Chains A and B, each alone.
Chain A
């Protein structure tokens, strides 16, 4: 666990409770968890912090998940790895691979599946 405790997760969702749930799920899996309510704020955090994993909602006002994914691509780095969590899937497989999204979780998601998939990329 000590290795993982240095890892940083960024949870992006406009729904406060949703962020809380994802934070709860990963609370003992990451050293530090950041939260952002939209893609714009999230990108600012990514630029400042050395984030390993981004778990982002797709649809959000003021900077959605797709915009965030595009911004992350401009960094040209292998980290953070991007996961998405969507209430209504409007991402086609082509977009998912283009935007280098590791996996899209459909809400309501299976938390074990989510933990497993995320930890596998660390």
Chain B
């Protein structure tokens, strides 16, 4: 647009200059002729004719140039109109005092108004939810440090000062239906920086919102199924872990019955048996509690001030037995003073997932071990899980964090464990990594450290 305007201006000044030049030449000739008293009608006429031709020729050339520019402009405006109307975005412009001045086909389609119903008649504020406008006026007033009345100013105040203003709003159709949009408002200024009006481009977010809700649900489902897949792997061990104390309780009870009914033993002996029954019942309770905690939907859990040691302990309650049956030696070295702000269940899920991977990977190694270490780095609490395997081949290591990538046989791995773990740790403001420099297979994650004294929020 700018270039066309410039061309036009240049052409006009050229036209003026040449016209003035012609007049000047004519006058000059007249003066010369008068001076030498050459009042020869013939010469006079000839000179006039020549100059007139030149002037005509030049004017014609300029006219052609001008009409080309006008054509070009017209074509450009057609293109722009088509572009504006073919877009699915609602494009609405308004005058500086807030009266709609353009209303494209996208806006007609989205909002149900005809452009003739709104142009020159109403303010774009009628498309909005009043409550949202009032809310926004409060936020804006606070942000800009001056009172913004809930009205047209709410939409343009920022744009006026050249700040890009992009916000989510609810648009209201002519028939009263509501839908979410992302609206971007820009101020339009002329070459003298004089405010000409505002343009608001809005994108219908209905589908996007639906889609992101679906994605959120799917993500939550995925997280949950990955969690239960780990739990499934540990299930055999957990059953053993519960059945052994049950056998102890029922065995102790039988012994007590037999001792008491045959009047053998004494109170001290009975109490000893009973104490052991009690402790053993607690063993079961602890596992059940761990299971309940772990299987709960933790998605909306608050981040709590938790001892990392405690998280590891409760995770191990669920996989200790599995490790035992696989003949895997577990070494844990923790630092009791390390606290993090975390969703304990999610961190537990990450640890159990790493343990589960290790168990699968080291199956065929004769001397099996897994080390869990917790220590401080400069700013982070690091949890490091190392097993007796000798690392992951480079080409595989490059892909392990990719969702659905698995080297486990079909039906054994979901291919989600590591990518979900990475996601969990990152949502805690930490980092999850495979340590390619370690001699043995090692994964570690860092969580931001918090002070030990801080009490839990929940």
Q: Is the CB of B325 within 8 A of A59?
A: yes
Would you give the shortest CB distance from A35 to chain B, in whole angstroms? 15
Give, as a whole number of angstroms, the nearest-CB distance from A39 to chain B: 10
Residues of chain B contacted by A20 (CB below 8 angstroms): 276
User: B249 at the A/B interface (Cβ < 8 Å)?
Assistant: yes
- Closest residue of chain B to A19, judged by CB? B248
Question: 1/0 per position for B352-390, CB-CB distance to A under 8 A?
Answer: 000000000000000000000000000000000000000
Does chain A have a CB within 8 A of B108? no
Residue in chain B with minimal CB distance to A63 = B327
Interface string of B317-337 (1 = CB under 8 A from A): 000010011011100000000
A106 to B244, CA, bound (A): 9
9 further contact pairs, Cβ within 8 A, besides A14-B324, A108-B249, A108-B250: A24-B252, A61-B327, A61-B329, A88-B237, A107-B244, A107-B246, A107-B247, A109-B250, A111-B251
Do A87 and B240 have beta carbons less than 8 Å apart? yes
CA distance A58 to B254 in the complex (A): 23
Contacts of B254 in A (CB 8 A): 25, 111-112
Encode A49-76 as 1/0 by CB contact (under 8 A) with B: 0000000001111101000000000000
Q: Please tell me if B70 contacts chain A, counting CB pairs below 8 Å.
A: no
Contact A24 B255 (CB under 8 A): yes
Q: B329 touching A25 by the CB < 8 A rule?
A: no
Set of chain A residues within 8 Å of B325, measured between Cβ atoms: 58-59, 64, 88
What residue in chain B is nearest A17 (Cβ atoms)? B248
Chain B contacts of A59 at CB under 8 A? 240, 321, 324-325
Interface size class of B (residues with CB under 8 A): 20 to 34
Does A102 sit at the interface, judged by CB under 8 A?
Answer: no
Which B residue's beta carbon lies closest to that of A13?
B244
Interface residue B243 (Cβ < 8 Å from any Cβ of A): yes
Whether A18 lies near B247 (C-beta < 8 A) is yes
Contacts of B243 in A (CB 8 A): 87-88, 106-108
Closest 8 A/B residue pairs (Cβ): A87-B240, A21-B251, A107-B247, A59-B325, A87-B243, A108-B246, A107-B243, A108-B247
Contact with A along B282-306 (1 / 0, CB 8 A): 0000000000000000000000000
CA distance A20 to B277 in the complex (A): 12
Does chain B have a CB within 8 A of A104?
A: no
Q: Would you call A44 an interface residue if the criterion is a C-beta within 8 Å of the partner chain's C-beta atoms?
A: no
Question: Interface on B for A, CB 8 Å cutoff?
Answer: 236-237, 239-252, 254-255, 276, 280, 321, 324-325, 327-329
Task: List, in ascending order, chain B residues with CB within 8 A of A85's CB.
Answer: 247
Q: A17-B280, A61-B327 are in contact. Are A22 and B251 (CB under 8 A)?
A: yes
A94 located at the interface, meaning its Cβ lies under 8 Å from any Cβ of chain B in the complex: no
Q: Which chain A positions have C-beta within 8 A of B247?
A: 18, 21, 85, 87, 107-109
Is B324 touching A88 in the complex (CB atoms < 8 A)? Answer: no
Judge whether A21 and B321 touch: CB under 8 Å. Answer: no
Given contacts A24-B255, A61-B329, contact A88 B240 (CB under 8 A): yes
- Residues of chain A with a CB closer than 8 A to B280's CB: 17
A90 to B325, CA, bound (A): 11
In the complex, 7 of the A-B residue pairs with CB atoms within 8 angstroms, ordered by the A residue number, are A15-B244, A60-B324, A64-B325, A87-B243, A88-B236, A106-B243, A108-B251
CA distance A47 to B158 in the complex (A): 90
Collect the chain B residues with CB atoms within 8 Å of residue A61's CB: 324, 327-329
Q: Are B327 and A25 neighbours in the complex by a CB distance under 8 Å? A: no
Tell me, in angstroms, the Cα distance from A11 to B252 when the chains sit together: 16
A residues in contact with B329, CB < 8 Å: 61
Q: What is the distance, in angstroms, from A40's C-beta to the closest C-beta of chain B?
A: 11
Q: Write out the residue numbers on chain B whose beta carbons fall within 8 Å of the beta carbon of A24.
A: 251-252, 255
A100 to B106, CA, bound (A): 82
A28 CB, min distance to chain B CBs, angstroms: 9
A54 to B275, CA, bound (A): 28
Given the interface pairs A87-B240, A87-B244, A90-B236, the reply to whether A62 lies near B327 with Cβ below 8 Å is yes
Q: How far is the CB of A42 from chain B (nearest CB, A)?
A: 15
Chain A residues with CB below 8 A from B242, complex form: 87
Pair A18/B244 contact, Cβ less than 8 Å = yes
Alpha-carbon distance between A24 and B251 when the two chains are bound, in angstroms: 8
From residue A89, how far is it (CB to closest CB) to chain B in Å?
Answer: 9
- Taking CB as reference atom, which chain B residue is nearest A58? B325
